[in-house]
Amino acid sequence: MAFFEVHNLSRSFGGLKAVSNVSFTVTKNTVKSIIGPNGAGKTTLFNLISGFLPPDEGSVTLETRQLEDLSPDKIAGHGVSRTFQNLKLFHGMTALENVMIGRHTHSRSGFLSGMLSLPWTWVEEKAIVKDSLEVMDFFGIAHLADSEATSLAYGQQRVVELARAMACKPDLLLLDEPAAGLNMKETAEMGKLICKIRDKGVTVLLVEHDMSLVMNISDEILVLSYGEKIAEDSPLAIQQDKEVIRVYLGEDDA
């Protein structure tokens, strides 16, 4: 049985099939990338997996657990965490507080009460601070803990977002264009951090346009076009796939 499996997943908006009958599996402790042109359905696929959108049909299974009918916080509680294509750090909060919000899905008082500053126990908060600082340290940003999150350099904000997603100790991490807007050096750094996440035993699903990053760190690549899976293979095979080159990679990469 696969560690993670998506089976016949579909979702339409009006007449548009944003995700159409997509099936794949992910092996534990690997990086699988999902690539494809803008509008191919990559973010929608992540929204379906993480419970932000209900699927029209299909199933999502993590180990033995069915996820497709659960709410986002239940799915997070079962070990699936994500980042967003557009950075979503909270204004007026420090980097540490932003990371702590990620940790709240694992706390008794829960994500929402954390967000709304409803009371949770002091012992629980102390543990959350400690855990969150540990995650920040893991990503080399512990020294930024007390900085206002949205005033950090963009590349640093992206790492804070990564730390927040890791704070709930996921088994499966979904990253939606983590290198978007990063320069070459920051992108290479992001690649190292993703490998570090995998080395920690977390399985990664990556949506990314930066092909050098994707080809360097992926164990397998799935290609979406107009909501449909058109290829799924090793990085080397994907780079040589004529259909993939035609719809996405283009002549430069051929």
Ligand X SMILES: Nc1ncnc2c1ncn2[C@@H]1O[C@H](COP(=O)(O)OP(=O)(O)O)[C@@H](O)[C@H]1O
Rule CB under 6 A: is residue 44 a binding residue for ligand X? yes
Local structure of 20: helix, strand or coil: strand
- Between 20 and 107, CB nearer to ligand X: 20
Least Å from the CB of residue 183 to ligand X: 22
Local structure of 220: helix, strand or coil: strand
Site string for Mg ion, 163-192 (x = CB under 5 A): ------------------------------
Site string for Mg ion, 29-48 (x = CB under 5 A): -------------xx-----
- Between 39 and 77, CB nearer to ligand X: 39
Residue among 32, 42, 78, 106 that touches ligand X (CB under 6 A):
42
Least Å from the CB of residue 40 to Mg ion: 8
Contact 193, 213 (CB under 8 A): no
Per DSSP (E only), the strands in the chain are: 4-13, 16-26, 31-35, 57-62, 65-66, 80-82, 172-176, 203-207, 220-225, 228-233
Query: Most distant CA pair in the chain: distance in Å?
Result: 58
Rule CB under 6 A: is residue 86 a binding residue for ligand X? no
Give me the phi and psi of 192, to 5 degrees please.
-65, -40
- Which range touches ligand X (CB under 6 A), out of 13-21, 86-94, 131-139, 184-192? 13-21
Contact 142, 133 (CB under 8 A): yes
- Between 43 and 81, CB nearer to Mg ion: 43
Q: Interface residues for ligand X in 211-230 (CB under 6 A)?
A: none
- Between 40 and 174, CB nearer to ligand X: 40
- Between 176 and 241, CB nearer to ligand X: 176
Half-sphere exposure (CA, 13 Å, Cβ side) for 80?
Answer: 27
What is the Cα–Cα distance from 113 to 66, expressed in whole angstroms?
A: 26
Site string for Mg ion, 82-121 (x = CB under 5 A): ---x------------------------------------
For strand 4-13 and strand 228-233, is the pairing parallel, antiparallel, or unpaired?
A: unpaired
Residue among 5, 10, 39, 113 that touches ligand X (CB under 6 A):
39
Give the Cα-Cα-Cα angle 190, 192, 193 (nearest 5 degrees): 65
Chain contacts with ligand X (rule: CB under 6 A): 13, 16, 18, 36, 38-44
